[in-house]
Amino acid sequence: MKLNRFKLAALAVGCLLAQLPAANAVVVVGSGPDISHLVIEAPDFGNPLEYEYHYTYNASSPLDTYSMLAAIDGAQSNLSFDLINFGSAGSPNYYLDAVTFNSITVANTNSPFWAQWVSGGGSGYPTASPIASGTWIEGSGISSPYRTLAPGSWDGFIYNGDYNPNPPYNLTSAPPSIAPVPEPATMTLFILSGLGIVLNRRRHA
């Protein structure tokens, strides 16, 4: 009976993972005890790209998405980012302008363009405010003081933004297909570890 319970739980996990969007293997960049995540999604790249950025968090001087992109760009020979500064040299306000992956470049146009979505950390004007984790909200640029990272934060860039050049000049975009939670492999380990603890307790009860 215990074995049947485990099989049923494992089957449920498998069904859950089968419903999650496909992605390329998660690429790990950097070192340190804290992790922030980056998702890059464009039809020309195929499945979404997902990166784990490892670093040491400093609450008095938190990193921004600009720093994370620079670290990932420097570590990956097949990936690079072009940024555009809507601020000044002394007070930059960077946004993503183009991404090159495996020699394929996808650059901003009025429609579509690279839309930014964030989860966790801080985001907003005139300075970043704490935002909730676990769900995507539209971002506000990639550089401090408008965007700051925190352990477990996510940044998603998806090439589906649409700009209306007529009043009310609104911008629209759908969020990335990958939810801002630990990747399926990590989720599976957590779930199976929990199941193992439960089964072990029942066996010794």
Q: How many CA atoms lie within 13 A of 102 on its CB side?
A: 5
pLDDT digits (tens, 9 = 90+) for 85-131: 999 999 999 999 999 999 999 999 989 999 999 999 999 999 999 99
Do the beta carbons of residue 28 and residue 88 sit within 8 Å?
Answer: no
Q: Are residues 66 and 165 both part of a single domain?
A: yes
Question: Considering its fold, how many domains does the chain have in total?
Answer: 2
Please count the residues of the chain. 205
Name the token pair of 117: 């979505």
* Residue 203 located in a structural domain: no
CATH code (residue 61): 2.170.130.30
pTM of the model: 0.79
Q: Are residues 134 and 155 both part of a single domain?
A: yes
Q: Are residues 16 and 36 both part of a single domain?
A: no
Given strand 129-130, what is the order of strands in its sheet?
Answer: 129-130, 122-123, 147-148
* Residue 147 located in a structural domain: yes
User: What pLDDT sits at residue 24?
Assistant: 79
* Residue 95 located in a structural domain: yes
* Residue 202 located in a structural domain: no
pLDDT digits (tens, 9 = 90+) for 141-190: 999 999 999 999 999 999 999 987 777 777 889 999 999 996 544 444 33
Instruction: Residue 140: give the domain boundaries.
Output: 25-177
Q: Tell me the DSSP string of 30-61.
A: E-SSEEEEEEEE-GGG-SPEEEEEEE---TTS
